[in-house]
Amino acid sequence: MTVAPQPPPRDDVRSDIVRAATRLLREHGADAVTTRAVAQTAGVQAPTIYRLFGDKNGLVDAVAEEVLAAYVASKADTEPGDPVADLRAGWHRHVEFGLTNPELFRLLGTRRPGDPSPATVAGVDVLRSRVRRLAAAGLLRVDEQRATTLIHAAGTGVILALLETSAPRRDPGLAEAMLDAVLGGILTATPVTSEPTVAAAAVTFAAAAPDLPGLTDAERALLTEWIHRSLTLLRGPHG
């Protein structure tokens, strides 16, 4: 009796498709990552891609996850240290990743508003945790959300600016200068515990508010709202 060949496991097919899309992206650019081209390269039918990934965005997300995981795995993990030094290290890794994977970075940046890639969301979450450490150390003079948004926007902008210039002509100090400019606008000269200011003290208190004992969830939410309202007033209409 002849036994019909068994189809490859679902996970193997998925991995083959992701590898094919990654190869097309690196060798031929973002425009080459079409459903038809990926299916042909992976040796599958186009409906298989839709069944496993939903749509092209789902496939791009899977590619981003694999490339990002490989990149992170290639970097040595370090114990958290000085929060400013850790932020600088994270900034440099982010810029390096964007310059090393330009087509993927551009592809992730073309997503529809309100539909960010999970890789982007995860990156912002890491940034947010680093900013929270700055706030808890009394080093922020703006609220955490503004600091996170400024750093994220500056990082994205500097990578795109560098990618618009051929590698030999890039300003090697541009990313560092951009980070210094942002930090100059969001950090206090000294920790709030040493020389408190109203705004810096409010930011530090806001970082601690979620962990304050003895408060109900409603009381904690109301306290946080008051703090952020105070920060908005301190910044003024042009803050």
Q: Are residues 50 and 89 in the same domain?
A: no
Residues 224 and 202 in one domain: yes
| Residues with Cβ within 8 Å of residue 102, at least 6 apart in sequence | 163
One domain, residues 227 and 147: yes
Same domain, 108 and 184: yes
Question: Are residues 113 and 61 part of one domain?
Answer: no
H helix intervals, 137-173: 144-163
Task: Report the Cα 224 to chain-centroid distance in Å.
Answer: 25
Residue 171: domain span: 77-235
Q: How many helices (H) and strands (E) does the chain have?
A: 11, 0
Q: Which residues of 100-135 are buried (b: 16+ CB within 10 A; e: fewer)?
A: ebbbbbebbeeeeeeebbebbeebeeebbebbbbbb
Nearest of 5, 109, 48 to residue 18 by alpha carbon: 48
In a domain, 1, yes or no: no
Number of folded domains that form the chain: 2
DSSP 29-97: -GGG--HHHHHHHHTS-HHHHHHHHSSHHHHHHHHHHHHHHHHHHTSPP-----HHHHHHHHHHHHHHH
CATH for 64: 1.10.10.60
User: pTM of the predicted model, to two decimals?
Assistant: 0.70
In a domain, 155, yes or no: yes
Residue 5 maps to a domain:
no
Contacts of 62 (CB under 8 A, 6+ apart): 14, 17, 18, 21, 53
Q: Are 133 and 80 in contact (CB under 8 A)?
A: yes
pLDDT tens for the chain, 239 residues long, are 443 444 455 668 999 999 999 999 989 888 888 999 999 999 999 999 999 999 888 898 898 888 887 777 766 555 668 999 999 999 999 999 999 999 888 888 777 777 788 888 888 898 999 999 999 888 998 889 999 999 999 999 999 999 999 999 999 999 999 999 999 999 987 664 444 455 555 566 566 666 666 667 776 676 667 666 665 655 555 45
> Do residues 151 and 88 touch, judged by C-beta distance below 8 A?
no
Integer angstrom CA distances of residue 226 from 146, 157, 206, 223:
16, 33, 9, 5
Q: Are residues 68 and 86 in the same domain?
A: no
